[in-house]
Amino acid sequence: MSTAAERLIESTRELLWERGYTGTSPKAIQQRAGAGQGSMYHHFSGKPDLAHAAISRTAGELRAAAEEQFAAPGTAVERVTAYLRRERDVLKGCPIGRLTQDPDVMADPALRAPVEETLAWLRERLAGVLDEGRERGELDRGLDPRATAATVVAVLQGGYVLARAARSTEPFDQAVTGVLNLLTAHAVPNA
């Protein structure tokens, strides 16, 4: 991909996170990217096409970052803990989770697809890690991997909301600690 196309995608990613879809105008994208209108329409058919490329890239990067923790050595609880405790820009929120609150993104099936797919992947991948922990005897058999994975994702996304509302990372950290305490309660001692 050309340098101009890369700059356009990166500028769109930043603006979507900062302003949402409606607040991200083609002119703002072009200005931030240092690219002209001709360059934008040479590489992309329009704002929806560019937004889709930006959202898809963000989704891919989030999956790759999460997979680093999920595929690492350690127990299921250690890997989930590493995922939840990794460095994040908490007060900016989740760049994918925030898009669920954007009515224009949610109304467009093409823009919504990478958001839905990423959150579904995250729930499934977490459920897989937790199920692996059950199979290896690290977590008790009473733990429901799918329900627990959905809970972890909900707490993570809700933690972002609480932190943004309070303008403090403390509610996020408390939410993560709380869900990890619940998960640890299912750990089998000396497994």
- Statement: residue 100 has pLDDT above 70: yes
Mean local confidence (pLDDT), 110-116: 96
Give the C-alpha separation, 138 to 75, whole Å.
7
Tell me, what's the pLDDT at 2?
64
Model confidence at 39, pLDDT cuts 50, 70, 90, reads confident
Give the C-alpha separation, 80 to 188, whole Å.
16
Residues 6+ apart with CB under 8 A from 11: 29, 30, 32, 33
Domain assignments of the chain as residue spans, ordered by start: 55-184
Does the 55-184 domain belong in CATH 2.60.40.420? Answer: no
Model confidence at 17, pLDDT cuts 50, 70, 90, reads confident
- Please name the amino acid found at residue 179: V
Token code pair at residue 45: 């058919």
Tell me, what's the pLDDT at 1?
57
The answer to whether 122 and 109 are in contact (CB under 8 A) is: no
Token code pair at residue 142: 């009473």
pTM metric for this prediction: 0.91
Tell me, what's the pLDDT at 189?
87
